Chains A and B, each alone.
Chain A
Amino acid sequence: MLVPWRGFWNPRSKAPGQEEERHVKANDRDYNERFTYADNHIKTAKYTFYTFLPINLFEQFQRFANAYFLVLLILQLIPEISSLSWFTTIVPLVLVLTITAVKDATDDYFRHKSDQQVNTRQSQVLIKGKIQKEKWMNVRVGDIIKLENNQFVAADVLLLSSSEPYGLCYIETAELDGETNLKVRQALTVTSDLGADVAKLADFNGEVVCEPPNNKLDKFIGTLYWKDNKYSLDNEKMLLRGCMLRNTEWCFGMVIFAGLQTKLMQNCGRTKFKRTSIDRLMNTLVLWIFGFLICMGIILAIGNTIWEQRVGRNFWAYLLWDELLSSAVFSGFLTFWSYIIILNTVVPISLYVSVEVLRLGHSYFINWDRKMYYSRKDTPAEARTTTLNEELGQVEFIFSDKTGTLTQNIMVFSKCSINGNTYGDVYDEFGHKVDITEKTPCVDFSFNPLMDRKFRFHDSSLVEAIKLEEPLVQEFFRLLALCHTVMPEERSEGQSWPLVYQAQSPDEGALVTAARNFGFVFRARTPETITLYEMGQPVTYQLLAILDFNNVRKRMSVIVRNPKGQLKLYSKGADTIIFDRLEPANEELMYTTSEHLNEFAGEGLRTLALAYKDLDEDMFDEWMKKLLFASAALENREERLGALYEEVEQGLMLLGATAIEDKLQEGVPETISCLTLANIKIWVLTGDKLETAMNIGYSCNMLRDDMNEVFIISSHTMLEVQQELKERFSSSQDVGKTDMYASDSVFEETIIAECALIINGHSLAHALEADLEQILLDVACLCKTVICCRVTPLQKAQVVELVKRHKRAVTLAIGDGANDVSMIKTAHIGVGISGQEGMQAVLASDYSFAQFRYLQRLLLVHGRWSYHRMCNFLCYFFYKNFAFTLVHFWFGFLCGFSAQTVYDQWFITLFNIVYTSLPVLAMGVFDQDVNEQYSLRYPNLYRPGQLNLLFNKRKFFTCTLQGVCTSFILFFIPYGAFLCAVRDDGSHISDQQSFAVTIATSLVIVVSVQIGLDTNYWTAVNHFFIWGSLAVYFAILFAMNSDGIFRIFPSQFPFVGTARNALNQKSVWLVILLTTVVCIMPVVAMRFLKTDLHPTQTDKVRLLQQATRRQGPQEQNLRRVRRTSSRRSAYAFAHQQGYGELITSGKNMKVHTSSTSAVPSSSPGRTHSINCNTLRSHTTCSSFQHYNLGHCMF
């Protein structure tokens, strides 16, 4: 029965990395365990309780800086070269390690929690002939599991049987590919016969041989061997992890792939540790500084060697140190290490930890922002990663998902044109068009007891027309009620909406619902009939044929016989298609309608044209025969049917057109135009169809009619794609050239303003290959708008990766579904839309919030501020450390290069972590160069971040140079003054310790003044920290130099009394004052002259802001630009082929033994709707109810 040799001779299948074929035997864990297949346990956490410390420390010491300080610490323990006590390094090091470890531990804790939540979801597994509850993580490959309605599928399973007839089963794959329409899966007939019989299922011992784990969501190849028979398996029989079971009471499946090997997880891409460009720059700079440090060490070591030979040797002879000191060269060698130790503070150890603290602070500000809080779903914004904030201020490319991100995925019947009259606009008493808002009064549909209460329509003239029984208006709605593939579901009495539609596309749902409210209620269907309630009267039509939709036809028709016996064909479809098939007499109406369609399309609505035709009985009979014949044909069936459909769909009578609004999320066009002004390029990557994507492109203002060209690339072969791309490239360059001659504006800018590129998934697959990717990128970057449609999750990631790799620009990906996960993970910054059904995108994201429009605030306010703060912070930090440390370098020349420190060791220990850390942190957390209103009002303030202007290598040189100069001044002014200084009581003051205190005090004052200059926004906290740091410095100085502490630790605090004796001297204060002024005034002068001669955008806005501060913030006047242009939209339906057949064959209709009223109250559909009503807001609920296919009443 089985094929016993499998699994024995094929050793490769045991190596998990090289699995070539997968063998899974149902209900046979022992067999399956021979292969090392992944179990269903998912682990994203890094540590466990016991491994945390070693692993975390190991990771931390992999960081260059930490390892460096560890080495330094070891060096300091060698007495020959130890120029500084070990505590100067260990105190900051331990502090840094602790803070980082605590942060890592918290992060990992949350990962553990989320893992556990997923792993402990309940599933029902068939074990030893019984269905038992098991956690997800305990599900194994080969297990048979039972799934129930509205449950997530736990692993990739082969569908065996289901509650529905023919082994059908409905799933929603939104988590996988973002498409929210229902998909049908059908089990093999042999297995669907197993039904829910547990005993039979337990005896099922088929073996599946299939492809190894991969990430192709739409492909599966395998074979089932059972009872000596072979059955081929394809994707139509698979339920993938992440799908949700819909409208199916239960189903049984056999686990093929589990856990990390499921297609969903394989598609997730590997979690990469994301680092910002500033991080990378920082690492480079730290390396440079390290090199600089070694150079200084070498210079000083050489100096030491020379000094030893010239001077030191005699001095040692004099001191009788001969036996102690060896050769000058060896002394130089030791000096090198000693100087590495004392100059180590140029590599700022507290840098990394301070940066982390800043980012954490910025993340909290994002979490706390009420303007990014969505009250309707009670969802605040969340910074899930705390390491990327400043990169939010540098974004150049945004990759956005469409469904759920830009759009709400709600279709609303908003306008229509019937027989040359438009309906749907609201006019005020002066005849002006009124913008429709929440407050606009709705039409009262109370005349209709079967209405859907959530349906809103604002133009009452259409209802009047209906009430006047205008025949064409009636025909219009009759068409909408008849020509579709929607399934109705009648609920038992007492429900608020007894009638619920389950549509496979939200568009159809919207149209049928509109017809319902206007009095043409679609109530029931059988394979042969459709029952309407026309203005309250039941009318049953005979359904003779459904001329189904497909992508080529772009239309669908039904042929019905009405109660009067007339044969009618009702057709709806893309306007161009319908218009081609009209009766010539319709021409005038066609022009009017066409105008209306343009108007609708101009508003970004999805349009459809409707037409009907009276059929002649004889002709129809003949046609029907041909149809039956054709549908039985084995060859070219599709083509023959198509030709027949074409034949009958001629000479149509135009009825009108509908316009459906694919509701955008709030504020999307405004956000997009604002981000565009900030010079951010927005690419839409969607799994949706070309037409839908374009439609949204138009309604979001990303595509406009005044664009020079909209390139559409939808070829299927590599060569074609290549050719098309090349053509586009040259033509777009031509556009650019002509424009360049026309105006002297920047070359690229003009081009960008003109073109748009739309590319579909097939072409993209070719274009992303190595030969073509460069030209694709070139073309795409010349275009202002890029839309990629029909792309797979992995392609989304590839596109992001392409831009990331070649453009050296910061990319941001935003999406809401599991299909966006890979893109979110690939981009520099991933943003998830939270508050939706699935959490996958949010869990993978770095930032999450509820509405697309918050992106504007995230980037232009938080991102810009973060970047500004981080850059200022870094500049200051490097400046500070150079100023602090290089004093030792200068002193080296005067102390025989002996690595004598200038400062007290305690000062060295505390300088970075106590005296100067808080003011710069306060600046880094609170600073605002321009307030939020102005940041949003002038999006071009975002430009410096993209150009990387505020912190780059040049800036780094400037600020380190400033640090070097400061250290020079800090050393040589006191040097000049102390050459022959004495106190005013004649005793000496030019001793080492007074010198140290003077320089240290000057240094602290200079860097405090400098941070004061760098702080643009002095909050109380800044005041407190800056003044506080100075106070703390003096307090600690006097405390450490005090008698008391000396008496306790005489050898640790040798500076006793120095502060007192030095700082009561006027001359010392004069030196400090002079040093401070000399260090600071040039900076002030430079900055003033710079803002005066070359003001940056920021300077201008700051000045403006200061000038207008008294007037209070002004209202932002970024308004939605009404597009006056027109465009023809295609048949932009989220439609699928094949539903017509399901209906006419009656496959998807349940045969109820009882009557209508006896629909079991516990039916899953109903359960769903109850959940739906209680848990979700009404709007989302309705959209989900459309999917409740499968329960149909007769």
Chain B
Amino acid sequence: MKSEGEFVNQPDNTAFTQQRLPAWQPMLSAGIVIPLFTLIGLAFIGIGVALFITSQNIKVQELDYTGTATSSPCFQCSGLSIQNCTCERNFSLSELFEGPVFFYYGLSNYYQNYRQYGVSKDDYQLSGDTTYFLKPQSYCSPYQYSNNKPIVPCGSIANSMFNDTFRLYLLVNGSRKQVPFDGKGIAWWTDYNIKYRNPSPVNGSFAAAFDGTTKPVNWQKSAYELDPTDQANNGFLNQDFLVWMRRAALPNFRKLYGRITGGDYSQGLPAGNYTLQISYNYPVLSFGGTKKVVFSNVSWMGGKNQFLGIAYLVIGSLCVVMAIVMLIVYAKYKFPDNDDA
């Protein structure tokens, strides 16, 4: 025999090089597939039922206030040229609207997901970088400069910020009692604390940081004076601004306006008649959009969502049906195991 040294070119005898790695070789056998389908089917039906019931229990009150119909109380405000118009919508609750109740505004046919719209902002500005205050990025165009002054916050998204305001009154014995909206903490924590930053105050004055800039064209107030009641709720950290800046994925969307949690309403909205006073500023009719407000409460699965529950039920049932079909097919056409191939 030859000595070891002569086999210099012999490949290594390892499981890897010889393709003998130990391996799990699953096969889609009847013993796995049919129980799997049954199990998934049953689980899905269970989840579907839970989702459906939960969703059914969630209360939603929607009020459209676009004012397209002449009979609508907001019709008077829907004209383009009308400024500072206010209209009211009345509604009644026959039973307690269980809390916590969330108040949303909703827009339809509004393309916040349009690409050119979506990029029309300056992330550096919004993260408080004052060098970009005077020189906004070109994405913001056509809302980059106004009268040769840089716009802060620049861009279409900021410029088109929703600016209707709402007041809710409960009619108690013929008199109106305002139901307070809590507008704090309606934006994501990360948006408020990390993504958006206000510029550092200049000489102790927050407004001075915005010197040399101008407000977005459509805004009535500058960014630093959005909320006169709360100094912290101004600039880029204004909650409504943050909510607006988180662009919706779909052309019909709703955004949180406030929570109804305060004082007497911690349990929810009691039954009774309500009036919603709308200061109607935001024009949507020109592009065929609608505006609405939504009162809703939530569950463990979030807001009301029939789709998920029904989808789960359908898919679950289909899985069970499929399992039965496969069982029949398997029993009938099972190919012989010992068929020598």
Asked whether A1100 lies within 8 Å of B335 as measured between CB atoms, the reply is: yes
**A982 to B295 Cα, complex, angstroms:** 12
Asked whether A982 lies within 8 Å of B302 as measured between CB atoms, the reply is: yes
Asked whether A932 lies within 8 Å of B28 as measured between CB atoms, the reply is: no
Chain B residues lying within 8 Å of A1013, measured Cβ to Cβ, are: 28
Asked whether A314 lies within 8 Å of B286 as measured between CB atoms, the reply is: yes
Are A987 and B186 also in contact (CB < 8 A) when A898-B111, A1106-B25 are? yes
Q: Tell me whether A552 is interfacial, beta carbon within 8 Å.
A: no
Q: Tell me whether A3 is interfacial, beta carbon within 8 Å.
A: no
Q: Tell me whether B303 is interfacial, beta carbon within 8 Å.
A: yes
Mark each residue of chain A from 1082 to 1105: 1 if its CB lies under 8 Å from any CB of chain B, else 0.
Answer: 001101110111010100111110
Asked whether A986 lies within 8 Å of B102 as measured between CB atoms, the reply is: yes
Q: Tell me whether A985 is interfacial, beta carbon within 8 Å.
A: yes
Q: Tell me whether B87 is interfacial, beta carbon within 8 Å.
A: no
Asked whether B19 lies within 8 Å of A928 as measured between CB atoms, the reply is: yes
Asked whether B25 lies within 8 Å of A373 as measured between CB atoms, the reply is: no
Asked whether A898 lies within 8 Å of B115 as measured between CB atoms, the reply is: yes
Asked whether B296 lies within 8 Å of A982 as measured between CB atoms, the reply is: yes
Interface of A is mostly: helix
Asked whether B337 lies within 8 Å of A311 as measured between CB atoms, the reply is: no
Q: Tell me whether B9 is interfacial, beta carbon within 8 Å.
A: yes
Are A1017 and B25 also in contact (CB < 8 A) when A992-B113, A1046-B194, A1060-B190 are? yes
Q: How far is the CB of B47 from chain A (nearest CB, A)?
A: 7
Chain B residues lying within 8 Å of A1091, measured Cβ to Cβ, are: 28
Q: Tell me whether A492 is interfacial, beta carbon within 8 Å.
A: no
**A1095 to B194 Cα, complex, angstroms:** 58
Asked whether A1051 lies within 8 Å of B190 as measured between CB atoms, the reply is: no
Asked whether A1054 lies within 8 Å of B37 as measured between CB atoms, the reply is: no
Chain A residues lying within 8 Å of B248, measured Cβ to Cβ, are: 988, 990-992
Contact residues of A between 307 and 348, Cβ < 8 Å to B: 311-312, 314-315, 317-321, 323-324, 338
Q: How far is the CB of A980 from chain B (nearest CB, A)?
A: 6
Chain B residues lying within 8 Å of A1088, measured Cβ to Cβ, are: 28, 30, 33, 326
Q: Tell me whether A989 is interfacial, beta carbon within 8 Å.
A: yes
Chain B residues lying within 8 Å of A317, measured Cβ to Cβ, are: 286-287
Asked whether B113 lies within 8 Å of A1089 as measured between CB atoms, the reply is: no
**A232 to B78 Cα, complex, angstroms:** 111
Mark each residue of chain B from 1 to 36: 1 if its CB lies under 8 Å from any CB of chain A, else 0.
Answer: 010001111111100011101111111101001001
**Contact of B334 (CB < 8 Å), options: A1065, A1092, A1107:** A1092
Contact residues of B between 288 and 341, Cβ < 8 Å to A: 288, 296, 298-305, 307-308, 311-312, 315, 319, 322, 326, 329-330, 333-335, 337-341
Are A1074 and B111 also in contact (CB < 8 A) when A988-B256, A1081-B322 are? no
Asked whether A1050 lies within 8 Å of B123 as measured between CB atoms, the reply is: yes
Chain B residues lying within 8 Å of A1150, measured Cβ to Cβ, are: none
Stretch at the interface among A752-760, A971-979, A1154-1162: A971-979
Asked whether B287 lies within 8 Å of A976 as measured between CB atoms, the reply is: no
Q: Tell me whether A981 is interfacial, beta carbon within 8 Å.
A: yes
Contact residues of A between 1051 and 1067, Cβ < 8 Å to B: 1051, 1054, 1056-1058, 1060-1061, 1065-1067
Are A1107 and B23 also in contact (CB < 8 A) when A323-B142, A978-B249 are? no
**Contact of A378 (CB < 8 Å), options: B9, B51, B102, B283:** B9
**Contact of B288 (CB < 8 Å), options: A314, A1022, A1047:** A314
Q: Which of A982, A984, A993, A1018 counts the most B-chain CB atoms under 10 A from its CB?
A: A982
Asked whether B30 lies within 8 Å of A1061 as measured between CB atoms, the reply is: no
Q: Tell me whether B181 is interfacial, beta carbon within 8 Å.
A: no
Q: Tell me whether A60 is interfacial, beta carbon within 8 Å.
A: no
Chain B residues lying within 8 Å of A1058, measured Cβ to Cβ, are: 190
Asked whether B7 lies within 8 Å of A1097 as measured between CB atoms, the reply is: no
Asked whether B249 lies within 8 Å of A992 as measured between CB atoms, the reply is: yes
**Contact of A368 (CB < 8 Å), options: B17, B159, B186, B311:** B17
Q: Tell me whether A1077 is interfacial, beta carbon within 8 Å.
A: yes
Are A926 and B286 also in contact (CB < 8 A) when A976-B307, A1057-B194, A1092-B334 are? no
Asked whether B190 lies within 8 Å of A365 as measured between CB atoms, the reply is: no
Q: Tell me whether B151 is interfacial, beta carbon within 8 Å.
A: no
**A899 to B119 Cα, complex, angstroms:** 12
Q: How far is the CB of B132 from chain A (nearest CB, A)?
A: 10
Chain B residues lying within 8 Å of A1057, measured Cβ to Cβ, are: 188-191, 194-195
Q: How far is the CB of A875 from chain B (nearest CB, A)?
A: 16
Q: Tell me whether A408 is interfacial, beta carbon within 8 Å.
A: no
Q: How far is the CB of A423 from chain B (nearest CB, A)?
A: 32
Asked whether B341 lies within 8 Å of A938 as measured between CB atoms, the reply is: yes
Q: Give B311's nearest chain A residue, CB to CB.
A: A1074
Q: Tell me whether A158 is interfacial, beta carbon within 8 Å.
A: no
Q: Tell me whether A375 is interfacial, beta carbon within 8 Å.
A: yes
Q: Give A378's nearest chain B residue, CB to CB.
A: B9
Are A977 and B305 also in contact (CB < 8 A) when A380-B9, A898-B114, A1057-B195 are? yes
Chain A residues lying within 8 Å of B287, measured Cβ to Cβ, are: 311, 314-315, 317-318
**A323 to B141 Cα, complex, angstroms:** 11
Chain B residues lying within 8 Å of A928, measured Cβ to Cβ, are: 19, 23, 25
Chain B residues lying within 8 Å of A770, measured Cβ to Cβ, are: none
Q: Give A1051's nearest chain B residue, CB to CB.
A: B123
**A1092 to B326 Cα, complex, angstroms:** 9
Q: Tell me whether A733 is interfacial, beta carbon within 8 Å.
A: no
Q: How far is the CB of A1052 from chain B (nearest CB, A)?
A: 9
Asked whether B10 lies within 8 Å of A1103 as measured between CB atoms, the reply is: no
Q: Give A994's nearest chain B residue, CB to CB.
A: B249
**A1095 to B27 Cα, complex, angstroms:** 13
Chain A residues lying within 8 Å of B19, measured Cβ to Cβ, are: 365, 865, 926, 928, 932
Are A979 and B250 also in contact (CB < 8 A) when A319-B160, A1081-B319 are? yes
Q: Give A998's nearest chain B residue, CB to CB.
A: B249
Chain B residues lying within 8 Å of A1065, measured Cβ to Cβ, are: 302
Q: Tell me whether A367 is interfacial, beta carbon within 8 Å.
A: yes
Q: Give A1070's nearest chain B residue, CB to CB.
A: B308
Asked whether A982 lies within 8 Å of B113 as measured between CB atoms, the reply is: no
Are A982 and B44 also in contact (CB < 8 A) when A368-B17, A379-B9, A1050-B127 are? no
Chain A residues lying within 8 Å of B304, measured Cβ to Cβ, are: 980
Mark each residue of chain B from 154 to 171: 1 if its CB lies under 8 Å from any CB of chain A, else 0.
Answer: 001001100000000000
**Contact of B37 (CB < 8 Å), options: A315, A1056, A1081:** A1081
Asked whether A979 lies within 8 Å of B252 as measured between CB atoms, the reply is: yes
Q: Tell me whether A896 is interfacial, beta carbon within 8 Å.
A: yes
Chain B residues lying within 8 Å of A1022, measured Cβ to Cβ, are: 23
**A323 to B143 Cα, complex, angstroms:** 12
Chain B residues lying within 8 Å of A379, measured Cβ to Cβ, are: 9
Q: Tell me whether A369 is interfacial, beta carbon within 8 Å.
A: yes
Q: Give B127's nearest chain A residue, CB to CB.
A: A1050
Q: Which of A315, A321, A926 counts the most B-chain CB atoms under 10 A from its CB?
A: A315
Chain A residues lying within 8 Å of B22, measured Cβ to Cβ, are: 1019-1020
Q: Give A1095's nearest chain B residue, CB to CB.
A: B335
Mark each residue of chain A from 646 to 673: 1 if its CB lies under 8 Å from any CB of chain B, else 0.
Answer: 0000000000000000000000000000
Additional pairs, 5, CB under 8 Å, beyond known A311-B288, A898-B113, A980-B303: A311-B111, A312-B114, A895-B111, A975-B250, A995-B250
List the 5 closest A-B pairs by CB distance, nearest first: A1057-B190, A995-B249, A368-B17, A982-B303, A314-B287
Interface residues of A (CB under 8 A from B): 83, 311-312, 314-315, 317-321, 323-324, 338, 365, 367-371, 373, 375, 378-380, 865, 894-896, 898-900, 926, 928, 932, 938, 973, 975-996, 1013, 1016-1022, 1043, 1046-1047, 1050-1051, 1054, 1056-1058, 1060-1061, 1065-1067, 1070-1071, 1074, 1077-1078, 1081, 1084-1085, 1087-1089, 1091-1093, 1095, 1097, 1100-1104, 1106-1107
Interface residues of B (CB under 8 A from A): 2, 6-13, 17-19, 21-28, 30, 33, 36-37, 40, 44, 47, 51, 100, 102, 104, 109-118, 123-124, 127, 129, 141-142, 156, 159-160, 186-191, 194-195, 217, 243, 246-256, 259, 283-284, 286-288, 296, 298-305, 307-308, 311-312, 315, 319, 322, 326, 329-330, 333-335, 337-341
CB pairs A–B below 8 angstroms (16 shown): A314-B286, A315-B111, A317-B286, A324-B142, A367-B11, A975-B250, A977-B311, A978-B249, A981-B303, A986-B303, A992-B112, A992-B118, A1050-B129, A1057-B194, A1074-B312, A1081-B315
